[in-house]
Structure 1
Amino acid sequence: MYNNQQVSVIMPCYNAEDVIDMSIQSVLAQSYQNFQLIIVDDYSTDRTIVKIKPYLADNRILLVQLPRNSGVANARNIGMQHSLGRFIAFLDCDDVWRPEKLEKQVTMMESNDAPLVFSAYHTFIEGTDKPIKKIQVPEFIDYEGLLRNTIIGCLTVMVDRNKTGDFEMPNIPGGEDTATWLNLLKQNGVAYGAEESLAYYRVSSTSLSGNKWRMARRTWQMYRQTQDLSFIKTCICFSFYVKNAIVKRI
């Protein structure tokens, strides 16, 4: 399908004037330079566009401006519609990659003949020089494993579309990324994880994942709406989700 080694980086953004520079610069600093960066602005009302425009001199960077706010899943899907690369990677506008992230994951993808790879990552608040915690990941995970442990961080994922074909994220309010990995693994087997941390996730009390109760409720709904699990299996998977979410934060 895709006769290239290009990585299409999908970056949704909304009112990110204070943080988006750091994210874009972490993409530009990659040791693997065969990428395109697609920034999808979800109708920001601050100076986000002003911050992005100087970067558009780089012809690898594309800005797509949406006419109304429609949510992160839709923004990512629109970004993928503009993508040209064999590989898809995701980076939100407030998160950061280590410089070797893309290079190591392309190598990992090819050496494992994998449809999807991911990695450990660190959390941080202001600067990546002061990380809070490393989120560990397993060496590999399949569909059933991911149902019980939603451990894959979206900012660490790379997908090989020659293995999966084109795909979309379900347009649901939370858990859309995990639902996507579940859908891909249901059809394509095993995802491989790197023990090395390759990214930094910005922790914010106002972020969706910062609201633990709301995220738990939306994870339950994601199981029911996108995976068609029975009530009993949803209860089983959700109990593992809660246990692993607690362990992840200890």
Structure 2
Amino acid sequence: MSLVSQNPGVSVIIPCFNSAKTLARALDSCLLQTEAAQIIVVDDGSQDASAAVAKFYSLKDRRVELVQMPENGGPARARNRGANFAAHSILAFLDADDEYQPGALATAALYLRNTPRQAAVRFSADFSDFPADLRAFPDFERHADIMSDTVASTLVIQRATFLALGGFPTDEVFRRYGGEDSALSNAIIDIYGCYRLEARKGVRVNYHPGSHVALYFSRAGGAETPFDEHWATTEAIQQFVARARTAMSGTAESIVDRA
């Protein structure tokens, strides 16, 4: 049995780029989670006080650790880097401007332990912080469901599965347009399936102007998506899922068994 598999609890990974204003809120929400045995802040070349905030919290609580990227590489690389430092068999990802609701990780971890053949589980997300004009369009709730099954902050996954899939894809197209979380989500669903905990919202996804989630809702509400961007991200997602499916063919069950 590996050292990782012997360690109970969840390793939470927080990618952080110039998020000093919101990082404390995200960390506070993690520290309230009894299952958060390790909280890894990956500073992705921030120019603000993000690293100082993380260091301050690491002095307050030994569960908090700071990992610093040598240069800015984008959220996918930061999340993958954090996963390499994870000491626990279950991973959770939280963006630095989001926050967990009380008891969320305990519910997710219990589900994965009681259903060991499940590779991953999702929270339903609370988007109530988003502007009223975005939340007012008729299909908002349907698109909120789509985002609950997509954004990184709702994902809790067996570490062995995450590593076997290769983590979040780091193709340049995702760095430019976003969509790395959609690619990983599609691969997980295609190979394993993924249950969503719908009884209550497990994570609050806060509005951040210019974020890929905010842009998605704007386009869902009627804003036009440039054709080149749509084509490039769709093709990249399909290619990643195909690569994952090929790599994992016939091994999905054994990966979950080792998780």
TM-score (norm 1): 0.75
Alignment correspondent of 1:186: 190
Structure 1 moving runs of 4+ over 6 Å: none
| Superposed counterparts of 1:163-178, under 5 Å | 165-166=163-164, 167-171=166-170, 172-173=174-175, 174-178=178-182
Alignment correspondent of 1:40: 42
Q: 1:24 aligns with which of 16, 23, 27?
A: 27
The answer to whether the Cα contact below 8 Å between 1:31 and 1:99 also exists between their aligned partners in 2 is: no
Name the amino acid aligned to 2:239: D
Aligned length: 212
Name the amino acid aligned to 2:26: S
Change (3 A) 1:49 1:104: same
Q: Structure 1: any 5+ residue segments left out of the alignment?
A: 127-131, 139-148, 230-250
Alignment correspondent of 1:156: 154
Asked if residue 14 in structure 1 is aligned to residue 17 in structure 2, the reply is: yes
Q: 1:62 aligns with which of 62, 65, 69?
A: 65
Alignment correspondent of 1:80: 83
Deviates more, 1:172-181 or 1:95-104: 172-181
Counterpart-to-counterpart distance in 2, 1:85 and 1:21: 23
Q: Structure 2: any 5+ residue segments left out of the alignment?
A: 241-259
SS of the aligned residue for 2:34 comes to coil
- Report the RMSD for the aligned CA atoms in angstroms: 2.7
CA positional deviation for 1:208: 2.1
| Superposed counterparts of 1:207-218, under 5 Å | 207-212=211-216, 213=219, 218=229
The answer to whether the Cα contact below 8 Å between 1:120 and 1:197 also exists between their aligned partners in 2 is: yes
The answer to whether the Cα contact below 8 Å between 1:120 and 1:135 also exists between their aligned partners in 2 is: no
Counterpart-to-counterpart distance in 2, 1:82 and 1:104: 24
Residue by residue over 1:158-199, the C-alpha shift from the partner in whole angstroms, topping out at 9 and shown as x without a partner, is: 101355654311012211012112223333x22111112111
Residue by residue over 1:187-245, the C-alpha shift from the partner in whole angstroms, topping out at 9 and shown as x without a partner, is: 3x22111112111001122212222359956564333123239xxxxxxxxxxxxxxxx
CA positional deviation for 1:43: 0.8
CA positional deviation for 1:31: 3.0
SS of the aligned residue for 1:206 comes to coil
SS of the aligned residue for 1:94 comes to coil
Give the share of equivalent positions with the same residue, in percent.
Answer: 26
